[in-house]
Amino acid sequence: MKRKKLGLIAKYTILFSVTILTIIPMYLIIIMAFKPGKEIFSATYLLPTLKPTLENFSVVFRAAPFLRYLINTIIVVSSNLLLQLLVIIPAAYAFARLSFRGSSILFGLFIVQIMLPIEALLVPNYQVVKSLGLFDKLPALIMPFIASGYGTFLLRQVFKQVPKDLEDAAIIDGCGHIRFIWHVLIPLARPTITTFSLVSVATRWNDYAWPLIITDSPRVRTLSIGLGMFVQQESGADWGVLMAATLFISFPIVLFFLILQRTFLESFMTSGLKG
């Protein structure tokens, strides 16, 4: 009993420590973003300011077109996710519920895509996009990531767990392939789809390497590139301004996760249907 109690104490101590280490950077970003410059380098820099200011955000928006970067990022992220779902849902259904020649080979190619590091595809993707005349255009930020092997694999595993009796009943009721996907499979796979959506949105929102390679003008830059350029421009001189820019970029994705966190956690606790 005593050993069990010590184990619980150790576990919660580790969890508490990890939580504190995770919260501290966000805490510092928030308080510094609203601090006047002179307070950041004072002895009370770790404490919230008594005179919060929006001047840091004003400087950020005057120095760089961050609203344009935000609009570009939202367009890229949302378009990428929508097109991914339009591709991976029918692909996962085909691999999970249909029998056709070469299915194992095709699915193996999807799995290979998961194993390849994204850095290995930068040059081929660049050559393809350049040959299509899409350099420095928003479609170039979307096209290379539409077919997701990771998302196809996740949904295939969920769709395979749906009992055959349920599919037979749907067919008897007049459901074709599309109606069966829309009315049966997608509702059952909603937690997995939500999880994939969170991963996809976070990945594309924070992507730096590909937008840096394929964009060359502010009109198509995303937030991650905008922040990188802004940091170089400021040379790390004004921490309040830099933290305001970082908070502006981080807040939407954090809010997105908080809104969907319940469904995200449910996806890990759901054991799936048993056939």
Write down the pLDDT at residue 267: 63
CATH classification for the domain delimited by 62-269, as one of 3.40.50.880, 3.30.2130.30, 3.40.50.300, 1.10.3720.10: 1.10.3720.10
Average of pLDDT values for 24-32? 89
* Strand intervals (E) in the chain: none
**pLDDT in the model for residue 129:** 92
State residue 200's pLDDT score. 92
Average pLDDT of the residues in 208-217: 92
Over range 115-143, report the average pLDDT. 90
* Span 242-256, pLDDT tens digits: 899 999 999 888 888
How far is residue 28's CA from residue 137's CA, in Å, rounded to a whole number? Answer: 36
- Spatial distance between the Cα atoms of 106 and 53, rounded to a whole number of angstroms: 56
Tell me the average pLDDT across 233-250: 82
3 token code pair: 């050993």
Q: Are 88 and 153 in contact (CB under 8 A)?
A: no
Q: What per-residue confidence (pLDDT) applies to 237?
A: 65
- Tell me, what's the pLDDT at 80? 96
pLDDT of residue 138: 92
Residue 162 clears pLDDT 70, i.e. is over it: yes
DSSP single-letter state for residue 48: P
**Does residue 73 surpass a pLDDT of 80?**
yes
Q: At 135, phi and psi to the nearest 5?
A: -60, 135
* pLDDT band at residue 231 under the 50/70/90 scheme: confident
Tell me, what's the pLDDT at 275? 38
Give the pLDDT score at 271. Answer: 43
User: H/E/C letters for each residue in 118-140?
Assistant: HHHHHHHHHHHHHHCCCCCCHHH
What are the sequence ranges of the domains in the chain? 2-53, 62-269
Per-residue tokens: 49? 């300011």
What value does the mean pLDDT of the chain take?
86
